[in-house]
């Protein structure tokens, strides 16, 4: 790090974490409320929102590295972050505006929603990638793991607050209310990002423009990627990340519609249910971060989270037969807790498997794991939604279609548990957090 560039303080890192929370708040409206409205209120196939979310993730696979490289060539990261948030806010409003059009003319409404989803993915890429670059280049090595943990948790907090607030405001449901909520979330998100980034780059040296050697660097990227992919440990762990995130994301678009169809929940109630799930994830992550610093290897925590998720999906399959909405809400909360356990084991393993290397390719390894996650999300959300439609058509029952997909997710998480034992880190969380200088476990243990 150049001496001309001062390091971020922890309060500044917290502020940048709020920017990530703002991005998550805008995106979650598409994957929760709007998804449910398309399937339940408009009675369209679940493949429709699955296609929209897949577009949102798919465009990020292309634009994240491109826009990150473009931000390298400019003097500041902040304009990219705020510009990306502005695009996210407008795209989120456009997706909401497509819903009443979809109700009158499905073809035109889906076309507008598809364009808006692509623009939303572009906005996330423009804001999120420079944000992570700013945190990376302005943080000391001892801060980076803690910064990542803080950012992750604040993003989940933002999602929980958004889901709970929009759920409370959405009843009684109307298209006008949906658009007002989407506009409000986008506006508040941009305002939070603007306040959070004020003066954040003051005193920093400008980001260096790419040198004439950039063309050579582009040529060597393929060689470096080939080297990393040929490492059995990296390839096996990427496979674990893909399989587990595929299983996790497959429920992302079907849980709320299932709540409406199987238990008669209103749009507001099912949106609040998403907040329950993410609340469970947050509690599971914090509790596991505390316990994992005291005992057990990270691979054991990752495997335990996957196995608990498999068992919870099995309980979800039984929920219509039980017929009690309280049981259903409890299962959703337990699912979140299990997912949080899995997340800490996976994130800790990712830190361990990259931090041990000294060949300068830690970022590339994280990029490989991140690409596996993004691909899993794009395919998982689309496959989960399409799987519901196929199973529903084959079985002649809307509820049974969802239960088949939940059962497949249980099997995938069980397989992920076995793969975690083979691929995730054998280190203890204490070893990794101490080596990486992570702030979060120290705070949790104090």
Among 141-145, 149-153, 333-337, 423-427, name the one with the lowest average pLDDT: 141-145
pLDDT of 237-267, one tens digit each? 888 989 999 999 888 778 888 998 899 988 8
pLDDT of residue 428: 61
Contact 304, 341 (CB under 8 A): yes
Confidence of residue 406 (pLDDT cuts 50, 70, 90): very high
- The answer to whether residue 35 is domain-embedded is yes
- The answer to whether residue 426 is domain-embedded is yes
Confidence of residue 268 (pLDDT cuts 50, 70, 90): confident
Q: Are residues 296 and 179 in the same domain?
A: no
| Last residue in a domain, options 147, 179, 203 | 203
Is pLDDT at 154 greater than 80 in this prediction? yes
- The answer to whether residue 211 is domain-embedded is no
Q: Are residues 388 and 352 in the same domain?
A: yes
pLDDT of 18-30, one tens digit each? 998 999 888 888 7
Say how many residues make up the chain.
Answer: 446
pLDDT of 178-219, one tens digit each? 999 999 999 999 999 999 999 888 755 444 444 444 444 444
The conformational region for residue 276 under phi > 0 = left, psi -120 to 50 = alpha, else beta, is alpha
- The answer to whether residue 171 is domain-embedded is yes
Q: Are residues 105 and 185 in the same domain?
A: yes
- The answer to whether residue 208 is domain-embedded is no
- The answer to whether residue 168 is domain-embedded is yes
Share of the chain above pLDDT 90, in %: 30
Contact 257, 45 (CB under 8 A): no
Range of the domain at 62: 8-203
Confidence of residue 65 (pLDDT cuts 50, 70, 90): low
Q: Are residues 231 and 130 in the same domain?
A: no
pLDDT of residue 295: 75
Q: Are residues 291 and 323 in the same domain?
A: yes
pLDDT of 302-334, one tens digit each? 999 999 999 999 999 999 999 899 999 999 999
Q: Are residues 151 and 267 in the same domain?
A: no
Beta-bridge mates of residue 184? none
- The answer to whether residue 89 is domain-embedded is yes
Give CA–CA dist 152/146, Å, rounded: 10
Confidence of residue 165 (pLDDT cuts 50, 70, 90): confident
CB atoms within 10 A of CB 278: 26
Contacts of 260 (CB under 8 A, 6+ apart): 36, 39, 40, 266, 267, 270
Q: What is the pTM (predicted TM-score) of this model?
A: 0.69
Q: On the CB side of 235, how many CA atoms lie within 13 Å of its CA?
A: 8
Q: Are residues 277 and 310 in the same domain?
A: yes
Number of domains in the chain: 2
Q: Is the peptide bond before 430 cis (omega within 30 degrees of 0)?
A: no
Query: Which one, of 250, 320, 184, lies nearest residue 49 by Cα?
Result: 250
Structure token digits, residue 70? 């473009």
Q: Are residues 14 and 97 in the same domain?
A: yes
Q: Are residues 131 and 198 in the same domain?
A: yes
Residue 427 phi/psi, 5° resolution? -70, 160
CATH (domain of 417): 1.20.1250.20
Mean pLDDT, range 166-181, rounded to an integer: 86
CA torsion, ordered 9, 12, 14, 16, to nearest 10 deg: -130
| Last residue in a domain, options 172, 203, 234 | 203
pLDDT of residue 412: 96
- The answer to whether residue 210 is domain-embedded is no
pLDDT of residue 214: 42
Give CA–CA dist 145/106, Å, rounded: 45
Q: Are residues 174 and 229 in the same domain?
A: no
Mean of the per-residue pLDDT values for the chain? 80
pLDDT of residue 179: 93
Q: Are residues 270 and 307 in the same domain?
A: yes
Query: Which one, of 255, 168, 261, 204, lies nearest residue 76 by Cα?
Result: 204
| Last residue in a domain, options 138, 170, 203 | 203
Q: Are residues 185 and 304 in the same domain?
A: no
pLDDT of residue 251: 85
């Amino acid at each position: 790090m150049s001496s001309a560039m001062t390091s971020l303080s922890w309060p500044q890192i917290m502020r940048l974490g709020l920017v990530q929370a703002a991005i998550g708040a805008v995106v979650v409206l598409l994957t929760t409320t709007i998804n449910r409205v398309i399937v339940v209120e408009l009675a369209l196939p679940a493949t429709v929102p699955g296609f929209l979310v897949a577009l949102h993730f798919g465009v990020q696979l292309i634009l994240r590295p491109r826009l990150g490289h473009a931000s390298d060539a400019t003097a500041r990261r902040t304009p990219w972050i705020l510009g990306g948030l502005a695009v996210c806010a407008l795209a989120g409003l456009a997706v909401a505006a497509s819903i009443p059009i979809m109700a009158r003319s499905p073809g035109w409404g889906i076309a507008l929603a598809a364009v808006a989803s692509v623009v939303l993915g572009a906005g996330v890429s423009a804001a999120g990638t420079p944000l992570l670059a700013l945190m990376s280049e302005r943080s000391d090595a001892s801060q980076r793991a803690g910064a990542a943990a803080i950012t992750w948790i604040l993003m989940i907090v933002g999602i929980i607050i958004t889901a709970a607030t929009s759920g409370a405001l959405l009843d009684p449901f109307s298209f006008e209310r949906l658009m007002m909520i989407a506009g409000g979330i986008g506006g508040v998100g941009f305002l939070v990002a603007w306040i959070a980034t004020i003066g954040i780059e003051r005193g920093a040296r400008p980001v260096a423009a790419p040198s004439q050697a950039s063309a050579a660097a582009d040529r060597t990227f393929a060689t470096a990627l080939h080297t990393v992919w040929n490492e059995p440990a990296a390839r096996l762990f990427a496979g674990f990340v893909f399989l587990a995130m595929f299983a996790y994301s497959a429920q992302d678009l079907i849980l709320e519609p299932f709540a409406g169809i199987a238990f008669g929940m209103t749009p507001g109630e099912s949106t609040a249910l998403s907040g329950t799930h993410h609340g469970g994830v947050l509690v599971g992550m914090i509790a596991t971060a505390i316990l994992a610093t005291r005992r057990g290897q990270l691979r054991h925590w990752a495997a335990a989270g996957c196995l608990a998720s498999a068992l919870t999906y099995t309980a979800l399959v039984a929920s219509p037969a039980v017929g009690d909405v309280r049981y259903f809400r409890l299962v959703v909360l337990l699912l979140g807790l299990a997912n949080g356990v899995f997340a800490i084991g996976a994130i800790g393993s990712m830190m361990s498997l990259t931090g041990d290397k000294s060949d300068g390719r830690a970022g590339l390894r994280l990029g490989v794991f991140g690409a596996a996650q993004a691909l899993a999300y794009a395919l998982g959300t689309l496959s989960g939604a399409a799987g519901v439609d196929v199973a529903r058509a084959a079985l002649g029952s809307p509820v049974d279609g969802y239960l088949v997909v939940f059962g497949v997710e249980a099997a995938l998480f069980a397989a992920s548990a076995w793969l975690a034992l083979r691929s995730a880190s054998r280190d203890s969380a204490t070893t990794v957090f101490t080596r990486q200088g992570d702030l979060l476990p120290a705070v949790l243990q104090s």
